[in-house]
Amino acid sequence: MPYTLIKNFAELLIIIFITTIIVYTPELFPRCAFCGHTKARWAFSLHTHTSLSLSRTGNKSVCKKCCFNENITTISDLDKKKEIKSRVKYKTKYTLR
């Protein structure tokens, strides 16, 4: 009897551990919205929640390197820079020969 109890407890602990990893991975290893790289949390200076989604789509984060290189201090700066980047990409793709 104690063996099955210990086995059930171990299974419960493993399930809780895996669930915790799945739920907290987007918080511990977010993806940069500017360069698209996945890094550890301490490499980010901006990190906010934009929706109730538990995945990486619910967060908006910018790494320290992109903040330093592109002079991003707020999330609205990020939106502006992304818009500018996409417009430049579109123009260079369709107007230059």
For Zn ion, the closer of residues 25 and 81 by Cβ is: 81
User: Nearest distance from residue 57's CB to Zn ion, in Å?
Assistant: 17
Query: Does residue 67 touch Zn ion according to CB under 5 A?
Result: no
For Zn ion, the closer of residues 43 and 54 by Cβ is: 43
Beta carbons of 60 and 35 less than 8 angstroms apart:
no
User: Nearest distance from residue 44's CB to Zn ion, in Å?
Assistant: 8
Beta carbons of 59 and 32 less than 8 angstroms apart:
no
Binding site for Zn ion (CB under 5 A): 32, 34-35, 63, 66
